[in-house]
Amino acid sequence: MTARLLSGKEAAAAVEAEVAERVAALAAQGKTVGLATILVGEEPASQIYVRGKHRAATRAGMRSFDHVLAAETPPADLERLIDRLNADPAVDAILLQIPLPGGLDPLPFVERLDPGKDADGLHPVNLGRLLLGRPGLRPATPAGILRLLDHYAIDTRGAFVVVVGRSFLVGRPLAVLLSLKGRDATVAVAHTATADLRGLTRQADILVAAAGRPGLIGPEHVRPGAVVIDVGINRTADGLAGDVDFAAVAEIAGAITPVPGGVGPMTIAGLLENTVAAAEARAGQ
């Protein structure tokens, strides 16, 4: 492997240490930071993610409140829980783990969150602030990717970034964040209807794969020396895989994230940052 390995574990530990200091500063004023998580159903991957989020919150000195609902919970009960957590002064941020079971649309529930307690930064108010370039809680995975680039001093100013995937969770908000003043990247968003994916991705200085398709990005998609960020988490017969053919791409890329241990820990770091930011705002700071 010739590419530099961009470790999300290492970068996330640095973010966590910063968050822990901010949590301790609030604690010194008598304010305990609280994160509530809501998990609906028993999807094993979601259970693992939520457990990881609790562990990280606890490590950072936060209190975490764990709400687990049965898959068949009526939507009105989920709404009531959200309303209760919105009103609970001990809760600074709420994470609703998505996807919801049975293909239930998560957006009406995300919209019900108090935007000031929106741990994942996906409420329309926060997405609107993002589009306007105003301060707000940012989507956790895209924000985590930017922190990873910062940690490894990878400058996005003037870079051509190709983001493969246009979901509201990852691709679209990441493209907006990268194009904001200060980040100053030129961004293209590729999706299932993109005519010549390889022709486009080969031009990228920074290539972000967030399609949820194992092995979608091979060496033929990558310009030698490019930075490759693999967001994909795919469960295959051979175990966890990203969207990038890691072994082959690592031979030509300049830098690459692993799966696991790349973007995953940065998503948790983004969530912790949002949670402490929400608590600071509620404490009037």
> Which residues belong to the active site?
53, 97, 120
User: Is 118:94 a contact under the CB 8 Å cutoff?
Assistant: yes
Q: Choose which of 191, 240, 251, 281 interacts with ligand NAD (CB under 6 A).
A: 191
Letters for 151-190 (x = contact with ligand NAD by CB under 6 A, - = none) are -------------xxxx-xxx------------------x
What is the sign, positive or negative, of the torsion defined by CA atoms of 60, 62, 63, 68?
Answer: negative
85 vs 233 by CB, closer to ligand NAD: 233
Question: In sequence order, which residues have a C-beta less than 8 Å from that of residue 13 and are 6 or more positions away?
Answer: none
Q: Does 212 bind ligand NAD (CB under 6 A)?
A: yes
What is the Cα 44 distance to its own chain's centre?
19
Q: CB nearer to ligand NAD: give 72 or 196.
A: 196
For residues 113 to 152, the per-residue mask of contacts with ligand NAD, x marking binding by CB under 6 A and - elsewhere, is ----------------------------x-----------
* C-alpha dist (Å) from residue 86 to 34, 51, 130, 239: 12, 22, 22, 38
Name which of residues 218 to 277 contact ligand NAD (CB under 6 A). Answer: 231-234, 263-264, 267
96 is a contact residue toward ligand NAD (CB under 6 A) = no
Report d(CA 70, CA 91) in Å as an integer. 22
Residues 6+ apart with CB under 8 A from 53: 35, 37, 64, 95, 268, 271
- Contact positions vs ligand NAD (CB under 6 A): 141, 164-167, 169-171, 190-192, 194, 197, 210-213, 216, 231-234, 263-264, 267
